[in-house]
Amino acid sequence: MTAIAFEKVSLTFGKRRILSGVSFSIPEGLFVGVLGPNGAGKTTLMRAVLGLVTPQSGRIGVLGQPPRRGNPQIGYMPQMRRGAAQLGLSGFELVLGAVGGTRWGWPLTSKADKEAAWSALERVGAADLAKRPISQLSGGERQRVLIAQALIGEPKLLLLDEPLASLDPAHQRGVVELVQDIARERRISVLFCAHEINPLLRALDQVLYLGNGRAAIGAVDEVVNRHVLSDLYRTPIHVARINGRIFVMAEEGELESHRHDEDGAA
């Protein structure tokens, strides 16, 4: 079955066009990195898959169905906003709030709900963090709790919006490996949104690059080359591979933000 299918999809906000007639199809079980500069539409694409943004035209299929809000087959990890971290919730409360998929807040919880929350926290290695307020966790610890939240309901598709933001290279590797292991063992399809390709290289089956309202998708070598990216961004793009790392550069500078501190990511 197809995990996600876009057929000539256009997404707009008012007069602002985010995607223009984009088509692609992602088979089930793949780990796909979603890349592109700030504002390219990565979050908006995920929100469309979740049924939170309706296309102006075209069709989206998610696991063979049209998108619908609260689909329990999808686990979503949004970008962590400061406000959410400061709510004072513990990791356990945050994960428990996701039990039942759409029942955000403080539901009346059963023993089974609590067990589901503990099981998700244990799977990401965060059971010992569960009682602490989210606001006191380190970035890496917090990302684990958020991944646990996305695993509630045994999803078939995980949408992860920048889980690597503000993590150092070792923690980035840890999060990517964790997601890859869980996805393999549960046969989950993954869309993993990131600002840099290198931390994802070992895990990637495909990349989906967004830019100028368009998309390029395929295996890393098929997409991350100067022909495809120059065409996508309508400007000369250079791609260099150094020691197994990939550098994507526009004439005026690097297209992706890189921290030059990771050794041997690929």
Ligand X SMILES: Nc1ncnc2c1ncn2[C@@H]1O[C@H](COP(=O)(O)OP(=O)(O)OP(=O)(O)O)[C@@H](O)[C@H]1O
Q: Which is nearer to ligand X, 12 or 73 (CB)?
A: 12
Write the burial class of residue 12 (CB in 10 Å: 0-12 exposed, 13-18 middle, 19+ buried): middle
Q: How far is the CB of 85 from ligand X (least distance, A)?
A: 17
Q: Which stretch binds ligand X (CB under 6 A): 31-39, 81-89, 174-182, 213-221?
A: 31-39
Residues 243, 211, 47, 193, Cα dihedral to 10°: 10
Which residues in the 185-244 window bind ligand X by CB under 6 A? Answer: none
Measured CA to CA in angstroms, residue 223 lies from 34, 57, 266 at distances of 12, 26, 17
- Tell me the three state secondary structure of residue 160: strand
Q: Which is nearer to ligand X, 95 or 208 (CB)?
A: 208
Q: Which is nearer to ligand X, 54 or 102 (CB)?
A: 54
Question: Does residue 164 interact with ligand X by CB under 6 A?
Answer: no
Q: Which is nearer to ligand X, 36 or 199 (CB)?
A: 36
Q: Which is nearer to ligand X, 127 or 250 (CB)?
A: 250
Q: How far is the CB of 69 from ligand X (least distance, A)?
A: 15
Half-sphere exposure of residue 222: CA atoms within 13 angstroms, side-chain side: 9
Q: Which is nearer to ligand X, 43 or 90 (CB)?
A: 43
d(CA 32, CA 42): 12
Q: How far is the CB of 104 from ligand X (least distance, A)?
A: 19
Give the x-and-dash track for 7-26 against ligand X (CB under 6 A).
------x--x-x--------
Q: Which is nearer to ligand X, 45 or 130 (CB)?
A: 45
d(CA 120, CA 116): 6
Do the Cβ atoms of 139 and 166 come closer than 8 Å?
A: yes
Q: How far is the CB of 40 from ligand X (least distance, A)?
A: 4
Q: How many residues bind ligand X (CB under 6 A)?
A: 11
- Give the residue from 138, 265, 107 showing the smallest Cα distance to 196: 265
Give the CA radius of gyration of the chain.
Answer: 18
Q: How far is the CB of 43 from ligand X (least distance, A)?
A: 3
Q: How far is the CB of 119 from ligand X (least distance, A)?
A: 31
Measured CA to CA in angstroms, residue 195 lies from 28, 129, 146 at distances of 23, 27, 19
Which residues in the 32-71 window bind ligand X by CB under 6 A? Answer: 36, 38-44
Q: How far is the CB of 34 from ligand X (least distance, A)?
A: 8
Report the DSSP beta bridge partners of residue 11: 19
d(CA 190, CA 157): 6
Site residues, ligand X (CB under 6 A): 13, 16, 18, 36, 38-44
